[in-house]
Structures are given as C-alpha cells and as structure tokens.
Structure 1
Amino acid sequence: MHDEIKSRRAAALKTPTGLGADATKDISAAATTLLADVFALYLKNKNFHWHMSGANFRDYHLLLDEQGDQLFEMTDPLAERVRKLGGTTLRSIGDVSRRQRIQDNDADFVHPHEMLAELREDNGTLVASMRSLHDTCDEYGDVATASLLENWIDEGERRVWFLFEILRGTNR
C-alpha cells in the first residue's frame, strides 16, 4: 500500500515537458543544487550584512542589502523552472544544507574585508556553477533555462566586480 501511495504522489508531480528524461533529470538536479547554493549565499550575505561594522559600515551594509536582494530574486524563478521541466526541487532548510556547495560562515566576528573577500569568492563560484549549468542546458537545447542563467551570470559578475574593486589594494 505504501509503495502505491508513493508512486501516485510521484506521478502527481510529473510535469509534461518537451525535453527528454535525461535532460529533465540532469538539468533539474543541477538547478536544484544551484538553488541550494543561492540560498546558502543569500543567508551568508545577510549574515555579513547584519554583522557589518567599521568605518565603511553604511556603504557595505547597503551594498550587501542590494546583493542579497539580487540573490533572493533568483530563488523562485529557478525553483519554478525545475518544476516546469518536470523535476522536483528543494523542500526544506535541511535539503539546502545537504546540497549546498557554498560554505557557511558561523564565526563570531569576521573583519569587513574578510566578509567581502569571502563573498567575492563565493559569487565567483556561483557564476562558475551557473556557466556549467548553462553548458548542460545548451547540450539539451533548453533555451529557457539558459536564458534565465545568462542574466544571473551577468548579475553575479557584477557582484564579483564590485567586491573586487572595493577590496583593490587591501591584500584580500
């Protein structure tokens, strides 16, 4: 009985798509892992935003607020894209923690420049992951997911650029 109910539930979430089963599986899995990274980076960004201190507090605080908004704005379209492809996506904070590749930072104090340097590196990692997913989308002809990624790659590169320029000359 349990297997029958489980089978019906899985079938109920199966969304028809023009892409093949391998495309659905590969793109959905990569996009869900990317989504976990986006949530992890969003929360790290907010952590640093909330715990910013020092002479440039206002500028850094506002920058991280803006960057956090960009990251959060990616979450719903990315999760919905996975569902449109016929896949399933994140279900909980625990699911995020099991899938994320972006590392948390739970330190009691992080110097502002260290915060920004860590976010610069994490955003660079996120951009690389988006490029990799874009390649997978190209392989399967998924132009819709690729199109979303292109704008997010550009935003990610902008975040990296801003953080790089702020830290220029600081040895970070």
Structure 2
Amino acid sequence: MKTNIGLDEKDRAGVTVILNHLLSDEYLLYTKTRNYHWNVTGRDFHELHIFFEKQYEALDEIIDEVAERVRSLGYHAFGTLEQFKKFSRLKEEVGDVPPADKMLQHLLADHETVIRQLREDQQTAAEKYHDAGTSDFLTGLMEQHEKMAWMLRAFLS
C-alpha cells in the first residue's frame, strides 16, 4: 500500500538514507558497548559492567526506534551485519580488548561522532527533505547521545 503522509517519495527516500546510516552507526555502537560490557576488567569492573549494560540497553531501544521510523516512512530498514558495517560512519576496533579507560574514551568519541552527524542530519531532514517529524526525531536522539556522552566524560574525569 502506498504511503501518503504529506511527504513526496523523493523526500521520504532521502530521509530513509539518513536513517539507515544512523541505524548502522547505532548498531555498531551498540555492539561495541556490549563487547565492553562483557570484557571490561579492573578495579572499576562492577560499576563499569553495570554502566555499559545501561548504555547498550538504551542503544537497543534507539536501534528499534530508528528502524521503526524507516518503516513508518514506507521503506525497509537495514537488518544485516554487512549493511551495518558498510554504511556505518563509525569504525570497529579489531584486536585485543582495550583497558577500561580506553573503552570509555572510544565510546565517548563514537557518541560525539554520532552527535555531530545528528546535528547535520537534523538540518538536512528539515531543510532539504521538508520532514519535520524526522528532524524532531533526530533532535531527540541527539539529546540521548549527549547525555550518554556526558556520563562517559564523567567517568573519565
């Protein structure tokens, strides 16, 4: 059935590209956070183990919301690891598990990358694709990432 929500197909397709890139970023960040939850060691193990769990649970909800936003626009959300890896703007860390302080630094850098991209994508959704709904949605996600980044910074201080 055709999607008739007041946005033409070109605009819906444009924001879908943005959202699928974001979905890829979120999934990679989720996986990295979950990996750190499993593999953290050191004197702050217990606190960081719980902290990482809360962050990956929040990211899991974000992933679902982004995928559902794509579907609400009448398109398919990415759903394979190959797509996520290909379209993510974040990088995986292959090799040894870093120490806890490096885990925090890597996650902070990734959240800040996502935040900067969200700022750009929010404007593009509003100005180029005339999609106030997606623009607002991206602003809300940016606020969630800003809070997660603040918490990571607090651990590093």
TM-score w.r.t. the length of structure 1 is 0.84
Unaligned runs of 5+ in 1: 1-11
Matching residue's letter, 2:155: I
2:45 match? 57
Q: Deviations over 1:33-58 (max 9, x none)?
A: 10010000000000011100000111
Determine which structure has more spread, i.e. the larger CA radius of gyration. 1
Q: Deviations over 1:9-62 (max 9, x none)?
A: xxx6x5333112331121000110100100000000000111000001111111
**Residue 105, structure 1, aligned to residue 93, structure 2:** yes
Matching residue's letter, 2:140: N
Equivalent of 1:159 in 127, 148, 152: 148
Q: Which runs of 4+ in 1 moved over 4 A?
A: none
**Residue 149, structure 1, aligned to residue 138, structure 2:** yes
Equivalent of 2:71 in 77, 83, 93: 83
Asked whether the equivalents of residues 46 and 68 of structure 1 are also in contact (C-alpha less than 8 Å), the reply is: yes
Percentage of pairs with the same residue: 29
| Distance in 2 of aligned mates of 1:91 and 1:43 | 14
**Residue 130, structure 1, aligned to residue 118, structure 2:** yes
Asked whether the equivalents of residues 137 and 145 of structure 1 are also in contact (C-alpha less than 8 Å), the reply is: yes
CA shift for structure 1 position 148:
2.0
1:117 match? 105
RMSD: 1.5
How many residues of Structure 1 are paired with residues of Structure 2 in the alignment? Answer: 156
Secondary structure in 1 matching 2:92? coil
- My pick for the range that moved more, 92-101 or 49-58, is 92-101
Unaligned runs of 5+ in 2: none
